[in-house]
Amino acid sequence: MSNKECELDNIIKKDLNRTYNEYTQIFDTNNKENIIDEQNRLQRILRAYSHFDKEVGYTGGMNFIVISLLLNLNPQNDREVEIIDNSFEENVFWIFVHIMLQKNWRLLFLDGTPGIFQILDKFDIKLQQELPQIRQKIIDCGLSVYICFPQYFFTILLYNSPKNFQKRVIDLFLFKGEEALMQIIINMLNFCQDIILKIEDTEDIMQFLRKGIMIKCQNILKFEQDEEQYLVC
């Protein structure tokens, strides 16, 4: 991994503590030494990618993808794994490269974020086809998918989501790409449809769509037997 200083290093460092502090609550990582190790891994991978893909460099949002990969793929966080594979950091880097290049996720982080508009165009069509009442509700409130849903795609649904859910999302995304994310969001919206249609205030519905659907579903998502209804793609 690259240890060279880069012009984006200060931005990466600023994001390190905030990123990892939010994720320790999910993974119950209280060991200070482990936290420092994970922060260093995160910094090395983000630095390395900024050298690998100079056009993209580093942009906020990439950190949440990488930290989720690190925490989910670290054998120390999996009680079923007895042998610690010290090469997992390099594996995480190349998985991230695969996501950015093969899944075309780098388009979301280029100047002007052209990729997010392409994805949201497709999602808007899917929402109209599968949940037309919710889409119309969003429009009636003066909102759009471009306002309410981009964060889910930037972070591949990994931000503030339960650990078991993250693992399955990573698997599905690596297998099916953006279509998997769209279907999971549609499934969660469908579960929350009655609530959404009753909200009258524009600010309230915007906040519920941005954060509330994940919070509302979290108590169910953490149970493996119930996760399947959201993760069926």
pLDDT at 86: 62
Q: Which of 90, 108, 126 is the last residue in one of the domains?
A: 108
Please report which confidence band the pLDDT of residue 10 belongs to, taking 50, 70 and 90 as the band edges: confident
Q: What angle do CA 194, 216, 141 make, to 5 degrees?
A: 50
- Mean pLDDT, all residues of the chain: 84
Please report which confidence band the pLDDT of residue 1 belongs to, taking 50, 70 and 90 as the band edges: very low
Are 88 and 146 contained in the same domain?
Answer: no
pLDDT in tens, 168-183: 899 999 999 999 999 9
Are 67 and 156 contained in the same domain?
Answer: no
**How far is the C-alpha of 50 from the C-alpha of 52, rounded, in Å?**
6
Are 127 and 200 contained in the same domain?
Answer: yes
Locate 140 and state its tokens. 């009636």
We report the CATH number of the domain holding residue 162 as 1.10.472.80
Are 148 and 223 contained in the same domain?
Answer: yes
Tally of structural domains, the chain: 2
Share of the chain above pLDDT 70, in %: 79
**How far is the C-alpha of 144 from the C-alpha of 209, rounded, in Å?**
11
| Domain extent at residue 175 | 114-231
Are 122 and 227 contained in the same domain?
Answer: yes
Q: Which of 87, 108, 129 is the last residue in one of the domains?
A: 108
Are 225 and 125 contained in the same domain?
Answer: yes
pLDDT in tens, 65-124: 998 898 888 777 655 544 455 688 999 999 999 999 999 999 999 999 999 999 999 999
Flag whether the pTM goes above 0.75: yes
We report the CATH number of the domain holding residue 29 as 1.10.8
Alpha helices in the chain (DSSP H): 9-27, 32-52, 62-73, 88-101, 114-130, 132-140, 145-148, 150-154, 163-176, 178-191, 193-198, 202-207, 213-221, 224-231
Q: Which of 74, 93, 108 is the last residue in one of the domains?
A: 108
Are 123 and 89 contained in the same domain?
Answer: no
Are 137 and 95 contained in the same domain?
Answer: no
Report the pLDDT averaged over residues 225-230: 51
**How far is the C-alpha of 167 from the C-alpha of 80, rounded, in Å?**
14
Are 49 and 87 contained in the same domain?
Answer: yes
Instruction: Between 78 and 159, name the one with better pLDDT.
Output: 159
Report the pLDDT averaged over residues 145-161: 92
Q: Which of 95, 93, 73 is nearest to 85 (CA)?
A: 73
